[in-house]
Amino acid sequence: MDPKKLFNDERLNGKCVYCGDIPDTRDHVPSKVLLDQPYPIGLPVVPCCKACNNGFSADEVYLACILECVIHGTTITEKLTRPKIKRILQEKPQLQAKIELCKNSNKNPITWDPDKQKIRNTILKLARGHAAYELSEPQTGEPEFIAITPRSLMSDSEIEEFENFRDHELWPEIGSRSFINTIISNKSVSIESGWNVIQTSRYRYMVNYEEGTSVKIVISEYLYCQITF
């Protein structure tokens, strides 16, 4: 048997990893809006229904755009660096205006009050996708814990704890992607200190399966997220 053939992937094909409904499409995890071109080869994909695939799109775009604006302290497209986000905001002036309303320029440094529900929806969707992809265990219920924090609001000790990778004493289910990555070298996966690096400085994640299912996500080296199911 080829150990890289993930027989648990077949089990996933029967349900949407986000809601459990019948899947009729596939979804990239993470969404390409969170990445820059050229896109990495072999982006993770999971089965999902069209309702979920379409339903998360606006929230994912919102997260990508507000992150770029917060990092640069402005919604002025000429001052942003990601071409994709510049184009989106130029094509969607209503979105640009909505993000501008989140900005409080009366404080130094500038503070932002984003739509926390949109951000939570996106982060939870990403976590569910990573859990299903890595462990072949869809997590369609509500998480036991979720934290979404800008790096600037974290202490050095909190960042150190977040970044820490603990070697797994338990092996994940046979056939899951994490099992394969545990026992063989998989050069198609860029793993640095336990982190799956999808795109350097843009997106990385880690899945831990010893204390429940815990997913850590770092976006643009700014937003630190941890979700436990």
Ranges of each domain in the chain: 7-56+116-228
Token pair for residue 73? 């302290």
Rg over alpha carbons for the chain, rounded to the nearest Å, is 18
Query: How would you class 9 by CB atoms within 10 Å of its CB: exposed for 0-12, middle for 13-18, buried for 19 or more?
Result: middle
d(CA 204, CA 8) in angstroms, rounded, equals 23
* pLDDT value at residue 138: 84
Q: Which residues of the chain have pLDDT under 70?
A: 1-13, 165-193, 210
Placement of tokens 């775009």 in the chain: 61
* 227, burial (CB in 10 Å: exposed 0-12, middle 13-18, buried 19+): buried
Q: What is the pLDDT of residue 125?
A: 97
Q: What's the number of CA atoms in the CB half-sphere (13 Å) around residue 105? A: 6
Between CA 42 and CA 219, with CA 204 as vertex, the angle to 5 degrees is 120
What pLDDT, on the 0 to 100 scale, is given for residue 120? 98
Read off the pTM.
Answer: 0.85
